[in-house]
Chain A
Amino acid sequence: DAGVTQSPTHLIKTRGQQVTLRCSPKSGHDTVSWYQQALGQGPQFIFQYYEEEERQRGNFPDRFSGHQFPNYSSELNVNALLLGDSALYLCASSLSGTTTDTQYFGPGTRLTVL
């Protein structure tokens, strides 16, 4: 039973570039949430995808967008990268429609913007 996986592990980009991060949820899960974790901080909610649609969104600009595929995997896209976008990007998967709220995190993608 595979857990949550993310790719790539590390990524280095320059300001103004665009980046795509990928996440595969835990087997049996249908909901993917994305979080940004700056160094020394707690994760901050970016958005959540369910049934291929964005269900909730945190306080992040439109430069952050996402997608969910029919197999429940998800992508996070960030356009016009800023230095402040450097962070660990975590995805978490869960199962909707139940009383189980548990979100399981992937290992993250470390993004460095130079």
Chain B
Amino acid sequence: GENVEQHPSTLSVQEGDSAVIKCTYSDSASNYFPWYKQELGKRPQLIIDIRSNVGEKKDQRIAVTLNKTAKHFSLHITETQPEDSAVYFCAASRGANFGNEKLTFGTGTRLTIIP
């Protein structure tokens, strides 16, 4: 089955600087890669996603890049703010081609923004 590895497990960044979180996946059939943000005691919230027919996607301060050949994808947060502090999870699935396939999650990155 699919295996998703995520690094780093913790990341501290000065406010205003950029943060990068990296994930690798094992299943070459995976074609959907969402990123979720989970604040303490809250539900995971989708912040951005990318499909395998796209190499990069951006939404304001957040961007995701995908390298299908190397089987890795990354989350980039620019101009970080204190409210960006949370645990971030990457995930992978075979997506709609197989009918709402299960999500396989990474182990999470605890991001702390230092004021």
Select which of B44, B45, B49 is within 8 A of A43 by beta carbon: B44
* A29, B66: Cα distance in complex, Å: 28
Interface hits, B40-69 → A, CB 8 Å:
42-46, 49, 51
Within the complex, the shortest CB–CB distance from A65 to chain B, in Å, comes to 17
Question: Which A residues lie within 8 Å of B100 (CB)?
Answer: 31, 33, 48, 50, 55, 94, 96, 101, 103
- Chain B positions near chain A (C-beta within 8 angstroms): 6, 32, 34, 36, 42-46, 49, 51, 89, 91, 93, 95-96, 99-108
State the main secondary structure of chain A at its contact with B: loop
Q: List 18 A-B contacts (CB under 8 A).
A: A31-B100, A33-B100, A35-B103, A42-B6, A42-B89, A45-B102, A45-B104, A50-B99, A55-B99, A56-B102, A94-B100, A96-B99, A99-B96, A101-B49, A101-B95, A101-B100, A101-B101, A103-B103
Select which of A44, A50, A56, A106 is within 8 A of B43 by beta carbon: A106
Q: How many residues of A contact B (CB 8 A)?
A: 31
* A94, B105: Cα distance in complex, Å: 17
Question: Which B residues lie within 8 Å of A92 (CB)?
Answer: 103
With A58-B102, A104-B46, A105-B45 known, 9 other A-B pairs at CB within 8 A are A35-B103, A42-B6, A42-B107, A43-B105, A56-B101, A97-B99, A105-B43, A106-B43, A108-B43
Tell whether A76 is near chain B: CB-to-CB under 8 Å: no
* A35, B104: Cα distance in complex, Å: 10
Question: Which A residues lie within 8 Å of B95 (CB)?
Answer: 101
